[in-house]
Structure 1
Amino acid sequence: MIQLRNMPRVFAGARPGALPLPADKKLQAFTPASVLDRYGDMAAGVRAVSTGDNVITMFDSIGEDYWSGGGITAKKVSAQLRAIGDRDVEVHINSYGGDMFEGIAIYNVLREHPQNITVKIMGMAASAASVIAMAGDRLEIGAASFLMIHNCWVVAVGNRHDMAETAAWLAPFDQAMVDVYAARSGQDAAAIANWMDAETFMSGSIAVERGFAEALLPADQLAVDEDAKAQDKSVNDLRAMELALVASGQTRSQARARIKNLKGTPGAATEEPTTPGAGDPKLAEALTGLLATVTR
């Protein structure tokens, strides 16, 4: 069984080089829990010091996010581009990723914009967010920021034939990402594929050295919002727990229901937080116990 949901369509009229989206299947791709952890440690709360009316900020999960109540979607980005109009655009990114296929759809939407797009990586552009970053005509990255590339990552269960079918189905999407990364960086496709296999994090200087970015962002353009950092890390814990439960064979709805049920355990906070589960001071302890039962 593969985790499925409705996927966005391939957007008509995209410039040459638009990435493919699933046509015959509707598959959701995830960001590994290891990346969520590194985002929480290294990039949570990093924001731009100032913004303008031609800036699109992506400081959230890619795809609709149950836990934050937000998420960056192709539909939202399309609406923002329409509001900006026929002008140059800046895209500010600090995201661990999320749904790879939603990221591809956003990449295609940005590729349709007729004017120049400058992408600025504020803290991290990992997984699906790194695909979005490649849509920029110019890419700038903080010296202490990171670009992470990897193969499309999904959760699937079944026998060896099911696994072989899933692997074969994913291969063209990984190859498409190799082509996009290679076209921007000028690096050999085989080297790109090896970096994706290894789940590679590139610091700002390495991203520039390897051709993924044109320049480093000045440090005075970045700041850490402590409130946003605390919120990012709190919601990230819930995303990681959901992913662990899905990997154990539960559906996303089952995983979410189980986590929400923990709010009713002795000692859990009684006030309803702004986002489901976020801000519960005792919830982390309950989640730790749940994780122990999942990973035995």
Structure 2
Amino acid sequence: MTIKAIPAAPADRPRAAASFDVLPQALERWNPAIRAAAEDEPNTISILDPIGYDPWTGEGVTAKRISGILRGMGGADVTVNVNSPGGDMFEGLAIYNLLREYKGSVTIKVLGIAASAASVIAMAGDQVQVARSGFLMIHNCWSWAVGNRHAFREFADTLEPFDQAMADIYAARTGDPIEKMAELMDAESWIGGSAAVEQGFADSLLPSDSVKESAKAGTAAQIAAHRLDVILAKQGMPRSERRSLIQDIKSGTPSAAGGDKPGAVPPDTPSAIAPDLTASLNGAQEILNSLKGA
């Protein structure tokens, strides 16, 4: 499929007081265990985590990492396996540009979900294949911000070029008007595998035997951390704070808990967190115990 030239994505990040984040609904529906059936194929890039730098692990799916991998492939054809809930839209657009500019042929395989920033990356393929049970999820930029009313007005204006760039990318892939893509983004649309092919987001469905659910996708502690991450995201806690809190719980840091017992939730939870966060955490005691015991 020949894709028309895409206008350059915005070169600047949003204001320092704001950051992109994973949409909680996407994080909740993401199954990290979904993998390619053949994981040892040559010239393959795996995007199987949230997009952007992960302060918890010190890793993450970043443009810097993808750029390094592509340089090492020397222009050979590449397959990119995707199962990601999205994340940092700036990183997603940067990775998209890297893949579009790559000299070799790029085949994108959506194994599970490609949501938000990951759906933008999926559009970079010369060929895009999606699992019949897979999903693309497209929406407007979703982020966190702090500041007064003037800062928020300016921040909304800062986000608009990113939304326009995404709509243009989807329109270029599907051949539909940008206005239609903007409507789908406004509606936070989940597009199943067959529908993605019918609407032009993908070229074909993946064979059913090309996807598997791996029991080795994560340790018990990692699975528990993911479950807790979903709870915290739904309560309105930014990604960086979620990672920091989970790490503190694992290490049993009393200062992070704000009480005498490691992992205890303080009564004076910071105002940046939803008021009912304490109740949610208390309801996830099994998860906390799993993490503290890891």
Same fold (TM over 0.5): yes
CA distance in 2, matches of 1:86, 1:167: 39
Structure 1: gaps spanning 5 or more residues: 1-14, 269-284, 292-296
Aligned to 1:99, which of 88, 94, 98? 88
CA distance in 2, matches of 1:127, 1:24: 17
Alignment pair present for 1:20 and 2:13: no
C-alpha spacing 1:157/1:28, structure 2 compared with 1 (3 Å):
closer
RMSD of aligned alpha carbons: 2.9
How far apart are residue 73 of structure 1 and its match? Answer: 1.0
C-alpha spacing 1:251/1:130, structure 2 compared with 1 (3 Å):
closer
Partner amino acid, structure 2, of 1:49 = A
Alignment pair present for 1:37 and 2:28: yes
8 A Cα contact 2:21 2:239, kept in partner: no
How far apart are residue 256 of structure 1 and its match? Answer: 4.5
Residue of structure 1 equivalent to 2:281: 288
8 A Cα contact 1:54 1:90, kept in partner: yes
Residue of structure 1 equivalent to 2:201: 212
Alignment pair present for 1:112 and 2:105: no
Alignment pair present for 1:48 and 2:39: no
How far apart are residue 243 of structure 1 and its match? Answer: 3.9
8 A Cα contact 1:147 1:207, kept in partner: yes
C-alpha spacing 1:23/1:95, structure 2 compared with 1 (3 Å):
closer
* Partner-residue secondary structure (3-state), 1:71: strand
Moved more, 65-74 or 167-176: 65-74
Partner amino acid, structure 2, of 1:48 = A
CA distance in 1, matches of 2:218, 2:192: 20
CA distance in 1, matches of 2:219, 2:79: 26
Identity %: 43
Structure 2: gaps spanning 5 or more residues: 264-277, 285-294
Per-residue CA deviation, residues 162-190 of structure 1 (Å, 9 max, x unaligned), is 22211111111101110000110112222
Per-residue CA deviation, residues 69-93 of structure 1 (Å, 9 max, x unaligned), is 4311111111111111121111110
8 A Cα contact 2:14 2:155, kept in partner: no
Per-residue CA deviation, residues 23-58 of structure 1 (Å, 9 max, x unaligned), is 68455311121211111xxx3311111142211111
CA distance in 2, matches of 1:123, 1:258: 28
Alignment pair present for 1:224 and 2:213: yes
C-alpha spacing 1:146/1:16, structure 2 compared with 1 (3 Å):
closer
Moved more, 67-76 or 96-105: 67-76
CA distance in 2, matches of 1:156, 1:102: 18
Residue of structure 2 equivalent to 1:239: 229
TM-score (norm 1): 0.77
Residue of structure 1 equivalent to 2:158: 169
C-alpha spacing 1:236/1:214, structure 2 compared with 1 (3 Å):
same
8 A Cα contact 1:117 1:136, kept in partner: yes
Residue of structure 2 equivalent to 1:179: 168
C-alpha spacing 1:205/1:61, structure 2 compared with 1 (3 Å):
same
Residue of structure 2 equivalent to 1:72: 61
